[in-house]
Structure 1
Amino acid sequence: MTSRIVVKIGSSSLTGPEGGLNREAVTFYAAEIAALRKDGCEVLLVTSGAVAAGFRGIGYDSRPRLLHEKQAAAAVGQVMLMQAYQEAFAGHSIPTAQILLTRTDFCSRRAMNNAMMTVEELLRQGAVPVFNENDTVSVDELKFGDNDTLSALVANLLKASHLLILTDMDGVYSADPRKHPDAVRYEHIEEITPEIYAIAGGAGSSVGTGGMRSKIDAAKIATRGGVPVFVGQVKKPGDLLQAAAGTGKGTYFATRLASLPVKKQWLGFMSTPLGSLYVDDGAVEALLHGGHSLLPVGVRRIEGSFHSGDVVEVLGPDGQLLGRGIVNYDDTQLRSIQGLPSREIVPKLGEVHRLEVIHRDEWITLR
């Protein structure tokens, strides 16, 4: 069976320290991806770098900070970036295809499914799909975070066998090795714990926007969807093959979970929750360990305004997120029956479509 690998390359790996596209780097990564394809892999590329590549070309002395300036730089840089990829891959007789996405594309299940069908056809035709965020129309609150999240969503939706996130650090360390020479690198991470998050700092370079925190976030999304993740360096010829083979210069995030259905992926990572439900300990046990639905009796507090069929978040008594689900009641209905046993629901509301607040088939655990 052909392996399907998503490779994510960050801004710092594609541009110089002061910005501007590094053509030699693009040529190097194209050769590494071509080697993966010769080894029998389908490869999808998620790239950053449009703003960093374009800001000098449009006349800015340094990376812009204002949104409209970033978008102008991205409009220039995206053309440069794709031209460089197209020329680099052409040297290996590999066609490329540009796919620009925003978070709102993932919020629509129909748009998402159409995009994935297009990608499947591109792979059948032997092309390398090149994904990037559509920076020219994205707003800050809808951004993917240096495309780390985008790469995880793509890997999950297209049921990749691996996600390889390439960065200028050779993995996740117990502390910043640039400041702490005695820091220890994690070779393998079996579970992403609060301690792992605690060691992730901010952005590591002046040309990119994502730090190790966003890469751990991406690893959490991908592994939850059944995709193992590598975070590390690819600097020399053959490094990408080693990363895919499990012997790369970086950290491997393991997963024991099966691939999530598309509906569950949308629900967990792409939908927009319109409300929050706080539940008691009994509901926590039922949802996380019992495989049960959420009933009105377990709901203790309701926040937000929502309708039946909307997505809501569910939190435990400690305020920690448990997961997301599609709610069967309007918020006003639910407020009138929260905490009531099931036998009292019909006398209170009359005939209802479903007694459950969230059916287990419309639920995804995120803790």
Structure 2
Amino acid sequence: MQRIVVKIGSSSLTSDEGGLNRSKVNFFASELAALHASGAQVLLVTSGAVAAGFRQIGYTTRPKLLHEKQAAAAVGQALLMRAYQEAFGAQQIGAAQILLTRSDFSNRQRIQNAQMTVEELLKQGIIPIINENDTVSVDELKFGDNDTLSALVANLVRATGLIIITDTDGLYTADPRNNPDAVRIERVQEINEDIIAGAGGSGSLVGTGGMRSKVEAARIAMRGGVPAFVGRVLEPGDLDMASQGQGRGTYFDTQLHSLSTKKQWLGFHSTPSGKVCVDAGAEQALLAGGKSLLPVGVREVDGDFHAGDVIEVYNLHGQLVGRGVVNYSADQMRNVAGLSTDEVQKRIEVPRIEVIHRDEWISLK
């Protein structure tokens, strides 16, 4: 059975001036209902609370101050859910609201509870409607117009696909708005720096995301074993076509398998306490050899971490390689970095010789 997470941004749901466009909401509800009727389990990650509420609260333009955005979201979220409830009700489908923050993902018990709630809703044929809890989120911890949130949700529920709806028909080699030679990229097998650089910035005054945040979200989904699609849904049947591999956009393929909840927490939700830099041999062993990280491969140590903390691992070029649970404190690590196993055992006593055991590691490169 297909399990598809669909993400719809603010610009797809509202007018240019702000406020909900009910005809757009009804259109997307009908598209999601058709997908639901085909037998797929459907989850919706939606933006639009701030955009829906800021005019209702009395602001003439989208607010920029945090407390103003939170007030607009408090009004707009109720309007947004009422619109969805009515639109899905017309399709004889129930809808449920789930509000999440980054801290929910960081707390393993809270996110497992959210996961169980989603599973029960899907079992009962209800469409979960997921949004960021804008009224309590702070800017430095926000998801970025919910693109990242949609990828994290797709990984969490082990979706068979992630569909990110945007106002352009996929990723191009350059910005098609000002470069007539830009060519659409049909499929992406690997997201490298060229792909990221070509994604550019935000293209909407109503939303806060852009193609770059959508490509970053696709990267997160791919790492979790979830293929992604970024593109347009404008006409009836477009969403079904996107789910069948015939959509108007770019497909991001992956050969990886879904991640366990523990690996998801390690890779995307944990808070690193420090970092180490490793040499090329250690990087190769971690990425391709399925090996643990040993002290001999460590070149630099940064931060004040303790055994059991999560740390990031970088290569000699400053690129992030991955994350893992460290078995050494920072002081111990500085003491034995670059030493062989025999030399380490002569200097200090640690429960495990590995800096990071392969079972406590996730690659992010």
Residue 77 of structure 2 corresponds to which residue in structure 1? 78
In the alignment, which residue of structure 2 is the partner of 1:322? 321
Cα RMSD for the two superposed structures: 0.9
Question: Which residue of structure 2 aligns with residue 193 of structure 1?
Answer: 192
Q: Name the CA distance, whole Å, in 1 between partners of 2:147 and 2:79.
A: 21
Q: Which residue of 2 aligns with 1:151?
A: 150
Q: Is the partner of 1:322 in helix, strand or coil?
A: strand
Deviates more, 1:207-216 or 1:281-290: 281-290
- CA separation in 1, counterparts of 2:276 and 2:190? 27
Letter in 2 for 1:80: L
Paired with 1:346 and 1:229, the residues of 2 have a C-alpha distance of 46
Q: TM-score, normalised by structure 1?
A: 0.98
Shift of 1:337: 1.6
Render the CA deviation track for 1:64-109: whole Å, top value 9, x for unaligned. Answer: 1111111111111101000000010001111111100000100111
State how 1:45-60 maps to structure 2 within 5 Å. Answer: 45-60=44-59
Q: What displacement does 1:205 show?
A: 0.6
Q: What is the number of equivalent residue pairs in this alignment? A: 365
Alpha-carbon deviation of 1:293?
0.6
1:182 CA displacement? 2.5
Partner of 2:129: 130
Q: Gaps spanning 5+ residues in structure 2: where? A: none
User: Hey, what does 1:346 align to over in structure 2?
Assistant: 345
In the TM superposition, what are the counterparts of 1:222-241 in structure 2 within 5 Å?
222-241=221-240
Letter in 2 for 1:364: I
DSSP 3-state at the match of 1:129: strand
Match of 1:366 in 2: 364
Deviations 1:253-309 (A, max 9, x none): 111111111111111111111101011122112111221111111111111111111
| 3-state SS in 2 of match to 1:362 | strand
| Moved >3 Å (runs of 4+) | none
Question: What SS is found at the alignment partner of 2:57?
Answer: coil
| Aligned residue number for residue 210 of structure 1 | 209
1:26 match: 25
Post-superposition offset of 1:165: 0.3
- Cα separation, 1, equivalents of 2:41 and 2:216: 24
Question: 3-state SS of the aligned residue for 1:160?
Answer: coil
> Which amino acid in the other structure matches residue 363 of structure 1?
W
1:310 and 2:309 aligned: yes
User: What is the one-letter code of the residue matched to 2:28?
Assistant: Y
Deviation, 1:251, is: 0.7
Deviation at 1:125, TM superposition (A): 1.0
Partner of 1:8: 7
Q: TM-score, normalised by structure 2?
A: 0.98
Amino acid at match of 2:247: G
Q: Which residue of 2 aligns with 1:160?
A: 159
Distance in 2, matches of 1:300 and 1:85, equals: 54
User: What secondary structure is seen at the aligned counterpart in 1 of 2:207?
Assistant: coil
Equivalent in the alignment of 1:264: 263
- Matched with 1:91 is 90
Q: What's the CA shift for 1:327?
A: 0.4
Q: Give the fraction of aligned pairs with identical amino acids, expressed as a percent.
A: 66
* AA at the equivalent of 1:359: H
Name the CA distance, whole Å, in 2 between partners of 1:206 and 1:289.
43
SS of 2:251's equivalent in the other structure is strand
Query: Shift of residue 345 of structure 1?
Result: 2.1
What code does the residue aligned with 2:74 have?
A
What does the per-residue CA deviation read over 1:51-71, in whole Å, with 9 as the maximum and x for residues that have no partner?
111110100000111111111
CA deviation vs aligned residue, 1:309-347 (integer Å, no higher than 9, x gap) = 111000011111111111011112212221221112232
Q: Distance in 2 between matches of 1:318 and 1:68?
A: 40
